[in-house]
Amino acid sequence: MPKVPVPEHIKSLVPYPPGKPIEELKREIGVEKIIKLASNENPVGPSPKALEAMRKAIERVNRYPDGSAYYLKKKLSEKLGIEPEQIILGNGSNEIIELVFRTFYQPGDNIVSAEITFAVYPIIAHAMGAEYRAAPMKNLKYDLDEMLHFIDEKTRIVFISNPNNPTGTYVTTREFENFMEKVPDSTLVVLDEAYFEFVDRDDYPNGLNYIEKFPNLIVMRTFSKIYGLAGLRIGYGIGNSEIIDYLNRVRQPFNVNLVAQEAALAALDDDEFVDKVRNLTHSGLKWLYSRVERLGLEYIPSVTNFFLIKVGKGKEVFEALLRKGVIVRPMDGYHLPEYIRVNVGTEEENRIFIESLEEVLSQL
C-alpha cells in the first residue's frame, strides 16, 4: 500500500457512478440493440452544421485550440446580447463548477444547495473539504425560502439547478427574484441552466436577465443537451466581467478543444435544428406521459427532456429493463428508491421503452 497520506474528506468521497460502454453491455446481456435513456442526452444527434464543422476541424487537430475561444465568445456575445468579457468556456459546465470552487472557496466556507439535485455539486464540495448544506425540497422542487435559512456569513457559493436535474422541476421568476434580493452580496449564486432551452413556461426566470442587477450571479449553460454535443464536453458561464476574469486566471489555457469550439460555433447557427429537437422533446414527453398513465403509474411533470416515474422498486425495474437492452437511471442514489428517471428518445425508442416497462412491471 502507498504511504502517501490521503485526507479524510477524499477517502469518504463516493465517485459519480459511470455507466458501462454500450458495446460491453451488448456482449454481457446478449442483445443486439441497446436503447440508452439514462443520461438526458439528445437522441437526434448533433446538428448537421456541427457535424460538418467537426469534419473540417479534425484536419487541424495537430494545432492547439484557441485558448481564448475568441470566435465562440464573439458569437455567443452577439447571440445573447452580452460582452465577450462576461463569458467563460469550460470542458463541460462541470469544469466551470470546479473553477468556481477553486477560485472562490476558502477553508471554513460552506456551500448551499438542495437535497435532491445535480450530483456534481456535493461531489466537488466534498472533494474540496467544504461543508455542504443540502436544504429540504418541497414537492421535489427547490424551496428557495428554505434555502435562505441555510445561508450565513460563511456561505461562499449557492447552487441552483433550474430546471433541476434529476426532478425536472423549476423555480419561478417570482421565487428566484425574491431569493436574489435576500442573498448576501458576498455569496456567489451559480444558476445552472443546462436544460433552459427546453422550458416553455412564461414564469421561468431567464438567468441572463439578472446578470447586470446581481454581480454575484453566474449563469451556466451547455452544448451537451439540446445541441447534442455531450461527447465533446463544452459548456459556458456568464456573469459579471470581474468575476469571469478571476475564473479565467484559474482556468487552464487550452481547456476547450478545437473540435468542440468549431462544433459549438456551427451549432449556434442552426436554430432550425434546435426547434426540431425541442418539438420532438415536447411531443415525446406528452406521449410518454399518456402511456405511463395507462400503466397506472405516477410521474413528476417536467419542463426538461427527462422525467421521473414512480415504479415501486426502482432498482429492480432498472435491472429488469437493462436485461431487455433498455437503460434508464435508478434513483436510489438520490434517496428516491421508488423512482426511475428516463429521458425522451426517438419515437421508436420511446415505444420500445414503454413496451419493455409494461412487460417488466407485469413480471415483477
For 249-302, write each residue's pLDDT tens digit.
Answer: 999 999 999 999 999 999 999 999 999 999 999 999 999 999 999 999 999 999
Question: Which cell is 163 given?
Answer: 430546471
Does the pLDDT value for residue 86 go beyond 70?
yes
The band of 13, judged by pLDDT with boundaries at 50, 70 and 90, is low
Does the pLDDT value for residue 1 go beyond 60?
no
Pair type for strands 217-222 and 235-239: antiparallel
Long-range CB contact pairs, 142-147, < 8 A, 24+: 142/114, 142/117, 142/169, 142/171, 142/175, 143/114, 144/171, 144/175, 144/176, 144/178, 144/179, 145/175, 145/178, 145/179, 147/112, 147/113, 147/114, 147/179
Distance CA 46, CA 58 (A): 16
pLDDT at residue 27 in the model:
66
The band of 364, judged by pLDDT with boundaries at 50, 70 and 90, is confident
Does the pLDDT value for residue 30 go beyond 80?
no
Q: Where does 118-173 show beta strands of DSSP type E?
A: 131-135, 155-161
User: What distances in angstroms separate CA 100 from CA 26, 46, 133, 192, one per listed residue?
Assistant: 39, 29, 17, 12
pLDDT at residue 3 in the model:
76
User: What integer best gives the mean pLDDT of the chain?
Assistant: 94
| Unique residue bearing C-alpha cell 427574484 | 177
pLDDT at residue 32 in the model:
73
Helix ranges (H only) for 159-299 are 173-182, 241-250, 258-267, 271-294
The band of 10, judged by pLDDT with boundaries at 50, 70 and 90, is confident
C-alpha 200: how far from chain center: 18
Residue range 306-320: average pLDDT? 97
Residue range 317-344: average pLDDT? 96
The band of 4, judged by pLDDT with boundaries at 50, 70 and 90, is confident
Residue range 179-200: average pLDDT? 98
Distance CA 42, CA 45 (A): 6
pTM metric for this prediction? 0.94
Residue range 173-179: average pLDDT? 98
Residue range 178-188: average pLDDT? 97
Q: Give the chain's domains with CATH numbers.
A: 8-45+272-363 (3.90.1150.10), 48-267 (3.40.640.10)
pLDDT at residue 19 in the model:
63
